[in-house]
Structure 1
Amino acid sequence: MTIQDRIKTRVKRSKRSVFLRSDFKDIAEYDQVGRGLRNLVKDGLLMKIGYGLYTRIRQNRITGKPMPDNTSGADGVLIEAMERLGVDYKLDNLSSLNISGESTQIPANIKIILNNPRFTRKISIGKQGINDDR
Structure 2
Amino acid sequence: MNTLNSIRRSVANHSDDVFLRGEFNQFGSVAQVGRALRTLMMDGTLVRLRLGLGLGVYANANANANAKAKPSVPTGKPIPVRPLEVLAPQALNKLGVTVMPSRLTQEYNAGRSAQVPASIVFNVGRRRIARKLGFNGKAIQYERA
TM-score, structure 1 as length reference: 0.78
Q: Is the CA contact 1:19–1:55 (under 8 Å) kept in the aligned structure 2?
A: yes
| Match in the other structure for 1:43 | 43
Unaligned 5+ runs, structure 2 = 62-68
Q: Tell me by how many angstroms 1:126 deviates.
A: 2.0
Alpha-carbon separation, structure 2, partners of 1:46 and 1:121: 20
- The two structures, once aligned, show a CA RMSD in angstroms of 2.4
Alpha-carbon separation, structure 1, partners of 2:11 and 2:99: 26
- 1:107-122 to structure 2, matched below 5 A, reads 107-115=117-125, 116-117=127-128, 119-122=129-132
Q: Is the CA contact 1:49–1:124 (under 8 Å) kept in the aligned structure 2?
A: yes
Q: Tell me by how many angstroms 1:52 deviates.
A: 2.6
Q: Is the CA contact 1:59–1:67 (under 8 Å) kept in the aligned structure 2?
A: yes
Alpha-carbon separation, structure 2, partners of 1:46 and 1:61: 14
Alpha-carbon separation, structure 2, partners of 1:9 and 1:17: 14
Q: Say which of 53, 69, 80 aligns to 2:81.
A: 69
Q: Tell me by how many angstroms 1:4 deviates.
A: 0.5
Q: Say which of 54, 57, 79 aligns to 1:53.
A: 57
Residue identity over aligned pairs, in percent, reads 28
Alpha-carbon separation, structure 1, partners of 2:116 and 2:79: 21
Find the residue that maps to 2:110 and give its secondary structure: coil
Count of equivalent residues: 127
* 1:96 and 2:100 are equivalent in the alignment: no
| Match in the other structure for 1:86 | 96
Alpha-carbon separation, structure 2, partners of 1:66 and 1:96: 32
Alpha-carbon separation, structure 2, partners of 1:124 and 1:24: 21
Q: Tell me by how many angstroms 1:46 deviates.
A: 0.6
| Match in the other structure for 2:3 | 3
Mark the CA change 1:16 to 1:105 in structure 2 (over 3 Å): closer, same or farther: farther
Q: Tell me by how many angstroms 1:66 deviates.
A: 2.4
Unaligned 5+ runs, structure 1 = none
